[in-house]
């Protein structure tokens, strides 16, 4: 191993260690005291409920673990946005699970809670996966109701989705395991089956205090909307259970008797490990963004047998395209080459930059994968499209538009992994969040922004210098450097993958060696949704 390999390995393992420590903290939800108080009521925590429900807790792919990270600090924060969501198997049937975390502000809904719940429903709808709601929520966080209640992508959208999902035949099962109040009461009752835990579960449009205030009636919450009321009198819920475990066992039985799903028919053979050690990713991928590397070596750490059949290998070299298998699944890979390459005309091209020929190649490859019904995997480490007079005269805008068009209109499932940089329009062309990847995850080394911190700081500094000059003031060199550092520090904080994950620009941050597993689980879920249309790219400039 080279010295650089060892340096890369050390740096990346340190980042993974910090990631794991960060996750441990996040998984405590509202903290150990809140967890203890929750358990005293005879209730499992959200994560314990999920672990009990699914076949293998180690096989759960969590989505949005860092949602709302460092947000809502004025009210004490909201770890994981107060809800745990992810993909797991119940009775060997893959599904989406949504579990309110009542240790975090009693499971109240913050703006990011709504966004995260809608993301869970989106995954369910796109992949025709059954969805389970484990409900334990105090409802909307009232001080922020204006940011969560009235808009299209706010609280009410989930109930609209309940109805649409039901009409599409997507199975929805709900267990009321704690509070379920006000508008939130519609969610479990719009599911196919609504279970409730006796003594801890309750569901009503208005609690006893509001009822007293509104109509003067004196009534306790249990009589108003407890398990016996809704299973024996109103018929709102279907069955009641003595405890969390019994309700979760009932869900397992429901899943055990479901009919088999339709199949999209994606090609899968026997899974084989890479010939390269998967952990070589730590050494092959440089934590220092300025160091060049060969993306093909990263790909060979991910593919079965380390096989990778390149498409147009000698053309458009700053994007690597090709076919391989990941955990047996046939995939088409589109990745940014990071080493300096030589074009067909002898011109040196910078790695990580999309040139006209590479955009043209990638667009054609994406169309080929659609023609052959092969899922697409995008590996981001992109600085953006080439700029300057030569690139403009060669038509970089129309060639870039061609690639964006192909990504936008692709009908096969797409999966994005952000390894390093994902800047500007390069993020769009490589299937960023706006282009509907079925899953999008980041490595701890990822950076997502319009441009790098250094470039942005330099640009913003020039603007400030010009502004000062217009007012008759010349900034000294010391003032320029101080201002540059200030701008860089603020900008770099927003480049962090944790910043992106907190806002659900990505579904999460993963250890690089989990990449194969994430992609495999993603294609497995996508295989539940047959492709019902052919790709149509519309108008493309040539």
DSSP classification of residue 109: B
Please give the Cα distance from 100 to 177 (Å, whole number): 9
Residues 510 and 443 sit within 8 Å (Cβ to Cβ): yes
Which two structure tokens, joined as six digits, stand for 390? 């030569």
3-state SS track over 139-180: CECHHHHHHCCCCCCCCCHHHHHHHHHHHCCCCEEEEEEEEE
Instruction: Judge whether 335 and 320 are in contact, CB under 8 Å.
Output: yes
The percent of residues in the chain predicted with pLDDT above 70, rounded, is 99
Helix (H) / strand (E) containing 61: strand 61-63
Alpha-helical runs (H) found in 349-395: 356-371, 389-393
Computed over every residue of the chain, the mean pLDDT equals 91
Query: 82-100 burial string, b = 16+ CB within 10 Å, else e?
Result: bbbbbbbbbbebbbbbbbb
Cβ atoms of residues 139 and 184 within 8 Å: yes
Q: Token pair for residue 216? A: 């003067």
Is the confidence at residue 418, as pLDDT, over 70? Answer: yes
Q: How far apart are the first and last CA of the chain?
A: 46
In angstroms, the CA 487 to CA 485 distance is 5
Task: Look at the block and give the residue holding tokens 């010349």.
Answer: 474
**What are 218's two structure tokens?**
């004196």
Residue 183 scores a pLDDT above 70:
no
pTM exceeds 0.85: yes
CATH code of 1-30+264-446+506-542, in short, is: 3.90.226.10
Q: Which residues contact 481 (CB under 8 A, 6 or more apart)?
A: none
Q: State the Cα–Cα distance between residues 10 and 14, nearest whole angstrom.
A: 6
**Residue 411 vs residues 126, 431, 532: alpha-carbon distances, Å:** 11, 13, 9
For residue 457, the model assigns a pLDDT of 67
Mapped onto helix, strand or coil, the DSSP state of residue 422 is: strand
- Kindly report, residue by residue over 273-316, the tens digit of the pLDDT: 999 999 999 999 998 888 999 999 999 999 999 999 999 999 99
Taking CB atoms within 8 Å and a gap of at least 24, the contacts of 254-257 are 254/173, 254/193, 255/90, 255/91, 255/93, 255/95, 255/130, 255/173, 256/91
In CATH terms, 31-256 corresponds, of 3.40.50.1820, 3.40.50.720, 3.90.226.10, 3.40.228.10, to 3.90.226.10
3 state SS of 114: helix
pLDDT value for 537? 85
Question: pLDDT, tens digit, for every residue of 39-89?
Answer: 999 999 999 999 999 999 999 999 999 999 999 999 999 999 999 999 999
Q: Hey, where are the domains in the chain? A: 1-30+264-446+506-542, 31-256, 452-494
Q: In whole angstroms, what is the distance from residue 16 CA to residue 511 CA?
A: 6
User: 388 pLDDT band (50/70/90 cuts)?
Assistant: confident
β-bridge partners, 417? 379, 441
pLDDT score at 209: 72
Return the higher-pLDDT residue of 358 and 466.
Answer: 358
Please give the pLDDT value at position 453: 67
Please give the DSSP secondary-structure letter assigned to residue 231.
Answer: I
CA–CA distance, 297 with 5 (Å, rounded to integer): 12
- pLDDT surpassing 90 at residue 428: yes
d(CA 148, CA 141) in angstroms, rounded, equals 8
What's 290-347 look like in SS3?
CCCCCHHHHHHHHCHHHCCEECCCCCCCCEEEEEEEECCEEEEEEEECCCCEECCCCC
Residues 6+ apart with CB under 8 A from 489: none
**Same topology for domains 1-30+264-446+506-542 and 31-256, yes or no?**
yes
At residue 379, the pLDDT reads 98
């Amino acid at each position: 191993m080279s010295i650089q390999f060892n340096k890369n390995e050390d740096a990346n393992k340190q980042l993974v260690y910090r990631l794991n420590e960060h996750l441990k903290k996040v998984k405590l939800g509202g903290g150990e005291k809140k967890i203890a108080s929750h358990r005293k009521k005879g209730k499992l925590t959200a994560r314990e409920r999920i672990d009990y429900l699914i076949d293998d807790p180690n096989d759960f792919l969590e989505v949005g673990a860092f949602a709302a990270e460092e947000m809502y600090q004025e009210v004490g924060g909201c770890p994981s946005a107060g809800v745990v969501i992810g993909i797991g198997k119940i009775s060997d049937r893959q599904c989406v699970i949504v579990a309110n975390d009542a240790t975090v502000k009693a499971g109240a809904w913050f703006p990011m809670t709504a966004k995260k719940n809608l993301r869970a429903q989106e995954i369910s709808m796109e992949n025709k996966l059954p969805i389970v709601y484990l409900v334990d929520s105090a409802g909307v966080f009232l001080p922020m109701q204006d940011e969560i209640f009235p808009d299209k992508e706010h609280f009410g959208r989930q109930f609209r989705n309940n109805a649409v999902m039901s009409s599409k035949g997507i199975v929805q099962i709900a267990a009321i395991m704690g509070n379920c109040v006000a508008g939130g009461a519609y969610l479990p009752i719009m599911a196919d089956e609504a279970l409730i835990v006796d003594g801890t579960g309750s569901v009503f449009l208005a609690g006893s205090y509001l009822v007293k205030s509104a109509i003067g009636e004196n009534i306790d919450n249990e009589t108003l909307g407890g398990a016996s009321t809704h299973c024996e009198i109103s018929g709102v819920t279907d069955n009641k259970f003595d405890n969390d475990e019994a309700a979760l066992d009932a869900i397992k039985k429901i899943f055990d008797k479901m009919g088999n799903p339709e199949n999209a028919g994606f090609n899968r053979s026997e899974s084989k490990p890479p010939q390269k050690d998967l952990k070589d990713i730590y050494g092959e991928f440089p934590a220092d963004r300025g160091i060049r590397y060969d993306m093909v070596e990263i790909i060979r750490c991910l593919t079965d047998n380390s096989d990778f059949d390149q498409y147009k290998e000698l053309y458009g070299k700053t994007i690597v395209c090709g076919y391989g298998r990941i955990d047996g699944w046939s995939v088409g890979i589109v990745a940014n080459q990071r080493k300096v390459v030589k074009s067909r005309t002898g011109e040196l091209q910078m790695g990580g930059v999309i040139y006209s020929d590479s955009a043209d190649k990638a667009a054609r490859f994406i169309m080929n994968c659609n023609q052959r019904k092969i899922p697409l995997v995008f590996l981001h480490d992109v600085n953006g499209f080439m700029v300057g007079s030569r690139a403009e005269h060669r038509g970089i805008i129309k060639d870039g538009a061609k690639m964006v068009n192909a990504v936008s209109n692709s009908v096969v499932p797409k999966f994005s992994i952000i390894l390093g940089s994902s800047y500007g329009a390069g993020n769009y062309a490589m299937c960023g969040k706006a282009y509907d990847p079925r899953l999008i995850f980041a490595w701890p080394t990822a950076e997502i922004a319009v441009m790098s911190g250094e470039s942005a700081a330099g640009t913003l500094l020039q603007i400030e210098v010009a502004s000062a000059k217009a007012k008759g003031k010349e900034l000294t060199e010391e003032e320029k450097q101080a201002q540059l550092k200030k701008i860089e520090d603020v900008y770099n904080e927003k480049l962090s993958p944790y910043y992106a994950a907190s806002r659900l620009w990505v579904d999460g941050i993963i250890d690089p060696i989990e990449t194969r597993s994430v992609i495999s689980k993603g294609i497995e879920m996508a295989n539940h949704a047959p492709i019902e249309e052919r790709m149509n790219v519309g108008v493309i400039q040539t």
